[in-house]
Chain A
């Protein structure tokens, strides 16, 4: 482990925090356009807002996995990968078995 166990993690949100703030403001503006106007461009704005909101939490986990790799905290790196794998299995189950 490159970081000593028990030390404070390097995850301090210095990059991820502003990135999330940017996504929040962008999706909020695009969502407002998609909700209150009814044009082709408004639908596109709404669609981009949906894509942002849907993908950001998954990208956040991948970002964390990168941080854990940097810290050499492999146990949590694998847990992050496991979470994404189980979520993917859940998606397959929902799509093919349950027909959601």
Chain B
């Protein structure tokens, strides 16, 4: 009972932070469990359950706000997942510790890029109303609600963004992380999509890849029902709360919060090597 309560609490907290920043949360949960003495082989599937749970719990609110851009999501995830599969194939050839340090460096760089940016890149557009909110047919553009109106956005630097997504996927696939903490900053800072849309979109996409990976773990019989149930209970509550906080935060505060969490993730990654 005590172990289940602890798992619920940690899963709730990490899923909340994960959904809030569009990071997934496994990158925080798995090292925490390992530090508490759990074998990494048991912690890994729990991390995937956390990511999928957070994604589902955040989904209804993010859909209602239309902050998720599904077209953008499948486009970036196609590049990232292809990279991840290549990374998984190369995982025995590449030095894992060095790649984890690369990921930590990328997290720090993303924190710096997001943290140094001032003001609002996508201000409300005069004349745009509630019915203009949502993704656009045939493109990676959209509009989302913001304090004072509706802001328009369009994903830019697509070739660079998708190349970086594939690289992030490759490194993530090699190291066994979901890479959400890299995907959100790439979407936000390189492709210039608003942080709130980037976080909501990444939360949707990493749920898909976590789900596919979970099926593999299930087929291998590596899913513990009681522990997974505890993580589901915590992550659904945490994911729901994270989405609620995200919708109430201004884009500037969300970006600052994301930068702080990215610095924490960089340290956690370095400590885990």
Q: Point out residues on A near B: beta carbons under 8 Å.
A: 1, 3-9, 11-13, 16-18, 20-21, 23-24, 27-28, 30-36, 38, 43, 45-47, 49-50, 53-58, 60-61, 64, 71, 73, 75-76, 79-80, 82-83, 86-91, 93-95, 97-100
Q: Across the interface, which residues of A come within 8 angstroms of B208, CB to CB?
A: 57-58, 60-61, 83, 87
Q: Decide if B232 touches A53 in the complex (CB within 8 Å).
A: yes
Q: Decide if A91 touches B88 in the complex (CB within 8 Å).
A: no
Q: Decide if B216 touches A11 in the complex (CB within 8 Å).
A: no
Interface centre among B84, B134, B207, B211 (most CB of A within 10 A): B211
Q: Decide if B229 touches A31 in the complex (CB within 8 Å).
A: yes
- How far in angstroms is the closest Cβ of chain B from A55? 7
Q: Decide if A55 touches B60 in the complex (CB within 8 Å).
A: no
Q: Decide if B236 touches A27 in the complex (CB within 8 Å).
A: yes
Q: Across the interface, which residues of A come within 8 angstroms of B173, CB to CB?
A: 90
Q: Decide if B136 touches A76 in the complex (CB within 8 Å).
A: no
Q: Per-residue 0/1 for B193-208: is the Cβ within 8 Å of any A Cβ (1 yes, 0 no)?
A: 0000000000010011
Which of B78, B213, B217, B226 is the one whose CB lies under 8 Å from A79?
B78
- How far in angstroms is the closest Cβ of chain B from A75? 7
Q: A9-B135, A54-B218, A95-B220 are in contact. Are A16 and B63 (CB under 8 A)?
A: yes
Q: CA separation between A7 and B135, bound complex, in Å?
A: 8
B139 contacts the other chain (CB 8 A): yes
Q: Decide if A20 touches B85 in the complex (CB within 8 Å).
A: no
Q: Across the interface, which residues of B come within 8 angstroms of A54, CB to CB?
A: 49, 52, 211, 214-215, 218
- How far in angstroms is the closest Cβ of chain B from A80? 5
- How far in angstroms is the closest Cβ of chain A from B122? 17
Q: Decide if A28 touches B213 in the complex (CB within 8 Å).
A: no
Q: Decide if B88 touches A90 in the complex (CB within 8 Å).
A: yes
Q: Point out residues on B near A: beta carbons under 8 Å.
A: 1, 4, 7-8, 49, 52-53, 55-57, 59-60, 63-64, 66, 70-71, 74-75, 77-78, 81-82, 84-85, 88-89, 91, 131-139, 141, 143, 173, 204, 207-220, 222-223, 225-226, 228-233, 236-237, 240
Q: Across the interface, which residues of B come within 8 angstroms of A94, CB to CB?
A: 88, 213, 216
Q: CA separation between A95 and B85, bound complex, in Å?
A: 12
- How far in angstroms is the closest Cβ of chain B from A66? 12
- How far in angstroms is the closest Cβ of chain B from A63? 10
Q: Across the interface, which residues of B come within 8 angstroms of A32, CB to CB?
A: 229, 233
- How far in angstroms is the closest Cβ of chain B from A47? 6
Q: CA separation between A38 and B225, bound complex, in Å?
A: 11
Q: Decide if A82 touches B78 in the complex (CB within 8 Å).
A: yes
Q: Across the interface, which residues of A come within 8 angstroms of B52, CB to CB?
A: 53-54, 56-57
Q: CA separation between A79 and B48, bound complex, in Å?
A: 23
Q: A24-B236, A80-B74, A86-B78 are in contact. Are A49 and B213 (CB under 8 A)?
A: no
Report the nearest B residue to A88, measured CB to CB.
B212
- How far in angstroms is the closest Cβ of chain B from A3? 5
- How far in angstroms is the closest Cβ of chain A from B178? 12
Q: CA separation between A27 and B59, bound complex, in Å?
A: 14
Q: Decide if B212 touches A90 in the complex (CB within 8 Å).
A: yes
- How far in angstroms is the closest Cβ of chain B from A54? 5
Q: CA separation between A41 and B60, bound complex, in Å?
A: 29
Q: Decide if A93 touches B137 in the complex (CB within 8 Å).
A: no
Which of A35, A43, A45, A95 is the one whose CB lies under 8 Å from B230?
A35
Q: Across the interface, which residues of A come within 8 angstroms of B59, CB to CB?
A: 16-17, 20, 24, 60
